[in-house]
């Protein structure tokens, strides 16, 4: 499975910030930690902030901190901010044919399994398993 860059950065940022909700980190600090573009990460943090999951910002030096519930927010909640929601997409040409419909059933099966995985892993579960590595 390939995630869009914004999704991956969103997951990096939320998990790093959720690790210690007391701590404030700027987009530049987060970008350096993961070796990614600070500009791109700033945009991603804006999306997370609009969703009410982090608070802070204002300028390159402004810090962000986690304001969500680690035990409630799942990986799917973050992915859904950046990726098209599965099942909520435009119809592709050929989907009404028998072959198109058969292919669609396979793709829906894959989407459902991916969604079950992402929606069942909370930030808390993710951070706990990382600690036990």
Partner 1 sequence: MRSLPMTNIRPAQASDLTAISALDERETGLAKPEYWREMLAPDRHFLVAETEKGALAGFIAGEIRAWEFGQPAAGWVFAIQIDPKLRLKGVGSELFEALVARFKEKGVTRVRTLVERKDHLILSFFRAQGMVAGPSLQLDIDVT
Which x/- pattern, by CB under 8 A, does the window 59-98 give for partner 1? ---------------x------------------------
Q: In this chain, which stretch among 22-30, 40-48, 61-69, 114-122 interacts with partner 1, using CB under 8 A?
A: 114-122
State which residue, 26 or 74, has the beta carbon closest to partner 1: 74
Q: Per CB under 8 A, does 15 bind partner 1?
A: no
Q: In this chain, which stretch among 15-23, 26-34, 48-56, 119-127 interacts with partner 1, using CB under 8 A?
A: 119-127
Q: What is the DSSP string of the chain?
A: ----HHHHHHHHHHHHHHH-TT--EEHHHHHHHHT--HHHHHHHHHHHHHTTSEEE-SSTT-EEEE-S-TTT-BHHHHHHHHSPPTT-SPPPTTTTSHHHHHHHHHHHHHHHHHHHHHHH-BHHHHHHHHHT-
Smallest separation (angstroms) from partner 1 to the CB of 123: 11
Q: Per CB under 8 A, does 108 bind partner 1?
A: no
């Amino acid at each position: 499975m390939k995630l869009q860059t914004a999704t991956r950065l969103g997951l990096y940022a939320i998990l790093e910030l959720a690790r210690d909700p007391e701590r404030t980190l700027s987009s530049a600090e987060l970008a350096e930690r993961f070796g990614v573009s600070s500009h791109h990460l700033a945009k991603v943090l804006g999306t997370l902030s609009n969703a009410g999951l982090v608070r802070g910002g204002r300028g390159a030096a402004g810090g962000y901190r986690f304001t969500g519930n680690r035990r409630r927010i799942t990986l799917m909640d973050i992915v859904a901010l950046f990726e098209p929601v599965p099942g909520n997409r435009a119809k592709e040409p050929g989907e009404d044919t028998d072959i198109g419909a058969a292919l669609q059933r396979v793709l829906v099966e894959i989407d459902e399994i991916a969604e079950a995985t992402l929606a069942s892993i909370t930030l808390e579960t993710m951070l706990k398993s990382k600690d036990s590595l």
